């Protein structure tokens, strides 16, 4: 298959390698062309056969149009620099020289290059350094020359002393820096140690507080559980007691009702019970009457004995009082003076009394003493 429709045989190989070499890169591969041919022949056979196969939908573009599109796409590829400005009428390829011509892959010639690690060559100065200072440069490099005042002798005592001073200063500075670094490291280590100790102490304190809180919570939960258990037990006991009381009341009520109903019906007509209810009262009636009479007689006798005893004791007490002599005493009292507004008390007495004197007689004797000794009080 050729790319162009107006290609002339023998004028060159104007063939797309993606199509004729069996690759599967392009759209028009050999496998697809063979499959299209087979599908076309199968459709032709199906027209003549007895069974009709489903029709194959034709492509949107014709084969000529698709080949022309491919040719236009290939012709726009960039040509190599060697093909620019040359006649392409007899050329058999368009932009495939880089892929068709064998490239030169021979190894390149190696060349050694010097580096900084190579040994230095012996340097020979252009002049002998006999004088202490090198001669000043003149000519085109005069702007790079060093002023005479800035040039000094490296072998002089002053320069050596300055170099020694610099070395000593740098050594001391380095030593001080090392000492400061060691002190800083020691301070950092000390701070880290104290920080770790503080963290450890805080951790232990936190663990102790956590353990205390856990114990307190466990104790509180235990007390709550015990209280709940006690409440549940008390409620259970109360419910049981209420149920027992209700059951007892209900059972007593039921038993009483049943017994009353049975007694009313006459279910308990027992001869022994009838005899006990009728004979025992008649048998015990005389005994009860006699007992009541005996109790009345005993009560009357007891009352009479008590009266006799009290009378005899009263008589003996009266006889004993009449036989004894009355005890005498002198009574001294204080009386508020009616003439004094402040309520001054004045003595009254003595007045002679005995144990048998009545209170009325005592008052009478006090009045007689006042009328006799202080009559002005009644004026």
Q: Per-residue DSSP letters for 87-139?
A: --SS-S-SS-HHHHSPP--PPPPP-----TTSPPPPP--SS---SSSPPPP-S
Q: 184 with 261, same domain? A: yes
Q: 281 with 228, same domain? A: no
Residue 72: inside a domain: no
pLDDT for position 299: 82
Structure tokens at 27: 């759209």
Residue 67: inside a domain: no
pLDDT for position 220: 93
Place of tokens 């005498």: 328
Q: 178 with 229, same domain? A: yes
Asked if residue 38 lies in contact with residue 44, where contact means CB atoms within 8 angstroms, the answer is no
Q: 293 with 243, same domain? A: no
Which pTM was predicted? Answer: 0.23
Residue 302: inside a domain: yes
Q: What is the C-alpha separation between 276 and 270, in angstroms, rounded? A: 10
pLDDT for position 181: 92
Residue 352: inside a domain: yes
Q: What is the C-alpha separation between 319 and 322, in angstroms, rounded? A: 5
**CA-to-CA dists, residue 197 to 184, 188, 226, angstroms:** 19, 14, 43
Rounded to 5°, angle at Cα 197 from 192 and 202: 125
Below-50 pLDDT ranges, the chain: 1-8, 10-13, 15, 17-23, 45-51, 53-54, 80-81, 83-94, 129
Looking at beta carbons, which pairs linking 67-71 to residues 24 or more positions away fall under 8 Å? 67/1, 67/3, 67/5, 67/28, 68/5, 70/3, 70/16, 70/26, 70/27, 70/28, 71/3, 71/4
Q: 310 with 339, same domain? A: no
Give 144's contacts (C-beta < 8 A, 6+ positions apart): 137
Instruction: Show the domain range for 342.
Output: 328-378
pLDDT in tens, 106-129: 777 777 765 555 566 666 665 554
Q: 255 with 307, same domain? A: no
Q: 275 with 264, same domain? A: no
Q: How many domains does the chain have?
A: 3
Structure tokens at 140: 């085109």
Residue 211: inside a domain: yes
Q: 229 with 298, same domain? A: no
Identify the helix (H) or strand (E) that includes residue 254: helix 157-265
Give 346's contacts (C-beta < 8 A, 6+ positions apart): 334, 335, 336, 337, 374
The partner residues of 335 in beta bridges, in order of sequence, read 346
Q: 262 with 164, same domain? A: yes
| b/e sequence 58-95, b meaning 16+ C-beta within 10 Å | eeeeeeeeebeebbeeeeeeebeeeeeeeeeeeeebbe
Q: 297 with 343, same domain? A: no
* The 3-state secondary structure of 280-348, one letter per residue: HHHHHHHHHHHHHHHHHHHHHHHHHHHHHHHHHHHHHHHHHHHHCCCCEEEEEEEEECCCCCCCCEEEE
DSSP summary character for residue 56: P
Residue 226: inside a domain: yes
Asked if residue 70 lies in contact with residue 3, where contact means CB atoms within 8 angstroms, the answer is yes
pLDDT for position 7: 47
Local structure of 352: helix, strand or coil:
strand
Residue 361: inside a domain: yes
Rounded to 5°, angle at Cα 233 from 227 and 234: 90
Residue 91: inside a domain: no
Structure tokens at 348: 């009254």
Q: What is the C-alpha separation between 274 and 276, in angstroms, rounded? A: 5
Q: 162 with 195, same domain? A: yes
Which of residues 230, 248, 268 is at a domain's end? 268
Q: 306 with 282, same domain? A: yes
């Amino acid at each position: 298959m050729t790319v162009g429709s107006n290609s002339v045989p023998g004028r060159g190989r104007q063939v797309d390698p993606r199509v004729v070499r069996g690759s599967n890169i392009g759209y028009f591969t050999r496998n697809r062309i063979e499959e299209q041919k087979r599908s076309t022949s199968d459709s032709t056979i199906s027209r003549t056969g007895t069974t009709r196969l489903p029709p194959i939908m034709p492509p949107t573009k014709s084969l000529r149009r698709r080949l022309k599109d491919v040719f236009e796409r290939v012709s726009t590829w960039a040509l190599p620099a060697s093909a620019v400005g040359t006649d392409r009428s007899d050329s058999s390829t368009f932009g495939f020289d880089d892929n068709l011509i064998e490239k030169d892959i021979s190894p390149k010639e190696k060349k050694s290059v010097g580096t900084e690690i190579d040994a230095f060559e012996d340097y020979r100065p252009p002049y002998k350094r006999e004088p202490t200072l090198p001669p000043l440069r003149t000519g085109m490099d005069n702007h790079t020359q060093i002023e005479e005042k800035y040039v000094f002798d490296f072998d002089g005592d002053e320069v050596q002393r300055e170099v020694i001073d610099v070395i000593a200063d740098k050594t001391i500075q380095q030593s001080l820096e090392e000492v400061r670094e060691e002190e800083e490291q020691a301070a950092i280590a000390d701070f880290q140690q104290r920080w770790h100790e503080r963290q450890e102490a805080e951790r232990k304190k936190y663990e102790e507080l956590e353990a205390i809180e856990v114990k307190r919570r466990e104790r509180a939960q235990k007390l709550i559980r015990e209280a709940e258990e006690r409440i549940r037990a008390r409620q259970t006991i109360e419910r049981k007691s209420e149920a027992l009381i209700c059951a007892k009341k209900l059972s007593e009520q039921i038993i009483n009702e049943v017994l009353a109903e049975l007694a009313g019906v006459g279910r308990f007509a027992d001869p022994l019970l009838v005899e006990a209810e009728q004979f025992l009262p008649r048998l015990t009636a005389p005994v009860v009457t006699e007992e009541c009479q005996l109790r009345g007689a005993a009560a009357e006798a007891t009352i009479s004995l008590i009266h006799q005893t009290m009378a005899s004791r009263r008589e003996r007490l009266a006889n004993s009082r009449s036989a004894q002599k009355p005890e005498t005493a002198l009574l001294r009292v204080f009386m508020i003076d009616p003439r004094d507004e402040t309520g001054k008390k004045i003595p009254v007495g003595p007045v002679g009394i005995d144990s048998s004197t009545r209170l009325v007689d005592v008052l009478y004797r006090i009045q007689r003493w006042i009328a006799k000794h202080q009559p002005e009080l009644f004026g």
